[in-house]
Amino acid sequence: MLHKAILFSLGVFALTGCDAQKKVKANSKAPEMTTNTKSDEQKNDLIYLNEGENKFLLDYKMNITFKGISEDSRCPEGVNCIWAGVALAQIEVMGTSTRPVLLNLASMDFPNRNYHQSAEFNGYTITLQEVTPYPKAGGAEELNGKYKIGVSIKNNRPSSDTTKKSPPSLWK
């Protein structure tokens, strides 16, 4: 009889623990995922992402996630600097038939330090165009989690337009 009472009380504790976990999961904020086409919130053909945001770009058949800023050495507002500095964004991209790839895109090209503003992925060129907000004199640490980027995506594949005329043949 004692064994049954112990087993019953353990079962009740387990079930109440499961219910508490469901409430915690419902209250915690999950990463946001949206589906985006060219007509959605785009200005000047830029795709905007908040830090941690994930979007599926239907027109490009690509998923893009802004993981965060790994380096922000841009000169703060109101400060005189020798070098303008750079922000390095980590962007994860994945095609519908590819594995995820992590791209480190810089706010400006600086090949000597291996900073590149653009990268190739799955027939597209992805370019970092904007990083906001700009750091203040207090430092970039206070901006963690508040960054927003704008990227452009260009198709590198030749057009599959069948209306183009082929060059005249020399062999007739």
CB distance 143 to 72 below 8 Å = yes
Strongest mean pLDDT among 13-27, 38-52, 101-115, 152-166: 101-115
Q: Are strands 54-57 and 62-72 parallel, antiparallel or unpaired?
A: antiparallel
Is the pLDDT at 8 greater than 50? The verdict is: yes
Mean pLDDT taken over the chain: 77
Domain presence at residue 40: yes
End-to-end Cα spacing for the chain: 99
CA distance 67 to 84: 23
pLDDT in tens, 142-168: 667 788 999 999 988 776 555 555 555
Supply the range of the domain harboring residue 40. 33-155
CA distance 52 to 1: 54
Confidence of residue 27 (pLDDT cuts 50, 70, 90): very low
pLDDT in tens, 62-119: 999 999 999 888 888 888 888 888 999 999 999 989 999 999 999 999 888 889 999 9
Domain presence at residue 121: yes
Domain presence at residue 57: yes
The pLDDT, as a whole number, for residue 120 is 94
The pLDDT, as a whole number, for residue 139 is 62
Domain presence at residue 164: no
The total number of structural domains in the chain stands at 1
CA distance 64 to 20: 33
